[in-house]
Structure 1
């Protein structure tokens, strides 16, 4: 795996009430990832970008919702979510403030 590919695997962190609670309780962080990313690529990307050690990765595919656009029926794009559990003693700080 080359570093250029790994830099593109993680699209964005998911910051919500559920993901914050999971991060506090079990050191598990949630990311939006590319649809063709594998578990190994996701783990390597997190380790490269945040300089932490990954314990386990769970991946799930989220189906896009059907939405009405004026008088036609449209559909949002499907996307992929990854739950990344870190090894004990490691943490990611998305706040960055004091």
Structure 2
């Protein structure tokens, strides 16, 4: 397995009502690379967003959904989601501002 660089770890933010409500507690949700570890997610967030300090990282693997097109069945790709808890004195992540 090739090593994953920090800029390849975070794929995109998750924008849902539940994730927006968790931002009040400084919890941010991201889709991450399926082979990324918690320590790699922590390093990526601290390097990509200046002034942030990560308190904890929770990850979850999500299976692909079963889809049907006509008579054939298939599955969507597996994904991995990470919920990042920032410390109290940490700066907020700017990409979520104004949402």
**TM-score under structure 1 normalisation?**
0.89
Tell me what 2:34 maps to. Answer: 35
1:56 aligns with 2:74: no
Aligned: 1:93 with 2:84: no
SS of the equivalent of 2:15 reads coil
Alpha-carbon RMSD: 1.4
Match of 1:19 in 2: 19
Query: Shift of the alpha carbon at 1:71?
Result: 1.3
Q: Where in structure 1 are there 5+ consecutive unaligned residues? A: none
Q: Secondary structure at the match of 2:5?
A: helix
SS at match of 2:94: coil
Distance 1:58 1:70 in 2: 38
Structure 1 runs of 4+ aligned residues shifted over 6 Å read none
Cα distance in 1, alignment partners of residues 96 and 75 from structure 2 = 33
Instruction: Give the TM-score, by structure 2 length.
Output: 0.88
Deviation string for 1:24-82 (max 9, x for gaps)?
1x110000000000000000000000021000000000111101012101111110000
Q: Which runs of no fewer than 5 residues in structure 2 stay unpaired?
A: none
Q: CA distance change for structure 1 residues 36 and 14 in 2, over 3 Å: closer, same or farther? A: same
